[in-house]
Homo-oligomer: A and B are copies of this chain.
Amino acid sequence: MRLTPEQDAEIASVRAETRPTLRATVPALEEILYQPLPVLDHGFVRVIDYMGDDAAVVQAARVSYGKGTRKISEDRGLIHYLLRHRHTTPFEMCEIKYHVKLPIFVARQWIRHRTANVNEYSARYSILDREFYLPAPEQLAAQSASNRQGRGDLLEGKEAARVLDLLGEDAMRSYGHYEEMLNERADGTVIEEGRAGLARELARMNLTLGFYTQWYWKTDLHNLLHFLALRADPHAQYEIRVYAEAMIETVRRWVPLVHEAFAEHVLGGVKLSATAWAAVRRMLAGEPVTEQTSGLGKREWRELMAALGRG
Contact = CB atoms under 8 A, between A and B. Distances in A.
Interface of A: 3, 6-7, 10-11, 13-15, 17-25, 30, 33-34, 49-52, 56, 59-61, 63, 65-67, 69, 77, 80-81, 84-86, 89-90, 92-93, 95, 97, 99, 103-105, 107-108, 111-112, 114-115, 117-122, 124-125, 133, 135, 139-144, 148-153, 155, 159, 163, 166-167, 170-171, 173-174, 177, 180-182, 195-202, 204-210, 214-216, 218, 220, 230, 235, 237, 263-265, 267-277, 280-281, 283-284, 297, 299-300, 307-309
A67 B14 contact: yes
Contacts of A275: 264
Contact of A209 (B11, B59, B104): B104
Contacts of A230: 86
Given A63-B119, A201-B151, A208 B206 contact: yes
A273 B84 contact: yes
Nearest to A67: B14
Copies in the complex: 4
A112 to B, nearest CB: 7
| Pairs of residues from A and B, 10 with the lowest C-beta to C-beta distance, nearest first | A268-B274, A10-B66, A92-B117, A142-B196, A18-B20, A205-B210, A114-B114, A60-B119, A51-B51, A124-B149
Nearest to A209: B205
Contacts of A3: 65
A196 B95 CA distance: 43
A51 B307 contact: no
B15 A22 contact: yes
Contacts of A124: 149, 237
B14 A19 contact: no
A89 B66 contact: no
Given A22-B14, A66-B10, A206 B167 contact: yes
Contact of A97 (B7, B51, B140, B163): B51
29 contacts: A11-B66, A14-B22, A20-B25, A22-B33, A34-B66, A51-B95, A52-B97, A63-B121, A63-B122, A65-B99, A77-B297, A89-B112, A92-B117, A92-B218, A104-B209, A108-B111, A114-B114, A135-B202, A142-B196, A143-B197, A155-B198, A170-B173, A201-B237, A205-B210, A207-B208, A263-B274, A264-B275, A269-B271, A283-B284
